[in-house]
Amino acid sequence: MTDKPANTMWGGRFAASPAAIMEEINASIGFDKRLAPQDIAGSKAHAAMLADQHIITAADAAEIVRGLDAVKAEIDAGTFTFSRALEDVHMNVESRLKTLIGEPAGRLHTARSRNDQVATDFRLYVRDRLDGFDVAVARLQSALATKALAHAGTVMPGFTHLQPAQPVTFGHHLLAYVEMFARDRGRFADARRRLNESPLGSAALAGTSFPIDRHATAKALGFDRPMGNSLDGVSDRDFALETLSACAISAVHLSRFAEEIVIWMTPQFGFIRLSDKFTTGSSIMPQKRNPDAAELSRAKVGRIAGAFQSLLMVMKGLPLAYSKDMQEDKEVTFDALDSYGLALAAMTGMVLDLEPVPEVMAAAAGRGFSTATDIADWLVRELKMPFRDAHHVTGRIVALAESKGQTLDQLTLTDMQSVHPAITQAIFGVLSVEDSVASRLSYGGTAPQNVRKMAAEWVKRLEI
């Protein structure tokens, strides 16, 4: 049997091509081809720097840039053929470049390695996705804040342990997520700031003997500065870990809201309606309207958190600098970022689409003795009772109402005074859900005037 021709990209060290199974496990082009725009941008910056430093001629650099533009045009048009035999996106681009421009293509790889090349591409890609997420999360916040403003006075039950706790407003509930997503954007911004250093020029691991200008390539690619250690430059993936961590946290926020949409859509709750745009039917039960978009968004957190854990396990035992294990960084990251982006878009669409059912929410807000805390607060304010004593008295009033099968506002003054004789008729002024929410005037509280003010501030802040 005759060996296949050697892989010329590897140089003269290897006399034969790899076994089929080696090619199968080694190739990454199936997923890393999406890095082609970043790879080409990095190569153009590198070529320009090489020419500026007189490491290659200006004519060769111009040919390289021309050829790279042609390669990008083919990729954008969908006519570029990616070859599995060439392993990865870097080799595919370089091979096509050589076909297009000949000898100058061979000078492009001067003073760099695939190690710093892929590290640069990956950082550029993650940075681009973070920029997109910041805009997308802001859109979700804007949708939430706008709806919160419209429903600043729409009363609904607030829950703890999924049991009725105290009345709140729908607007107040939505603003809770606006605040959560603001912190998510902060985490994305932090991750972006830390990743925005350039590995390009670290070469394989030790730097290079060529007189390169790493500050020039960093600036050309929009990085704040070059990374300060070449070993760190090629072996670091904590920027991907931090991004996945931030995505996982934000996906949990998406998932929690998706879970509430699922609950609120049930006939047992009936708090909101979603149109046909974000629901599906059943193959056998014609009455069904299933909130599948919310359920799928809820499920995405598993893939995203799983990707974070997967990359942690890849990196946990690797010595410096580069190991081939790190090829496993991209596929899980790509999948997680795609999953997060899709869930984010779906949730934004559902927020814009959903409409509350105020009469159902208001009726539910009064169940479960939800204004009991207002009684305790009244006893403290009006009778100067210690809160713990007031809590005990209120508990007895709730027990009385429960035994009589009545709500708190259905009890008579005589009923109330049988528990504590100092109670007056004025207590009935705090027992409605409307009075309850209106009284929560503390900063960040659910009082409608608070919610209107805060929602309006968010709407203005999020104008994009």
> Hey, which residues are catalytic here?
161, 282
155: Cα within 13 Å, side-chain hemisphere: 21
Q: Could you give the CA distance from residue 336 to residue 243 in angstroms, rounded to a whole number?
A: 10
Q: Could you give the CA distance from residue 138 to residue 186 in angstroms, rounded to a whole number?
A: 11
Q: Could you give the CA distance from residue 247 to residue 341 in angstroms, rounded to a whole number?
A: 9
> Rounded to 5 degrees, what are φ and ψ at 159?
-120, 150
Non-local CB neighbours of 48 within 8 Å, separated by 6+ positions = 61, 65, 216, 220
Residue 11: left if φ>0, alpha if ψ -120 to 50, beta else—which one? left
Task: Kindly write down the DSSP assignment for every residue of 26-42, as one continuous string.
Answer: H--HHHHGGGHHHHHHH
Token reading at 256? 């929690």
* 304, 215 Cβ separation under 8 angstroms: no
Task: Kindly write down the DSSP assignment for every residue of 393-437, as one continuous string.
Answer: HHHHHHHHHHHHT--GGGS-HHHHHHH-TT--GGGGGG-SHHHHH
Q: Is 350 helix (H, G, I), strand (E, B) or coil?
A: helix
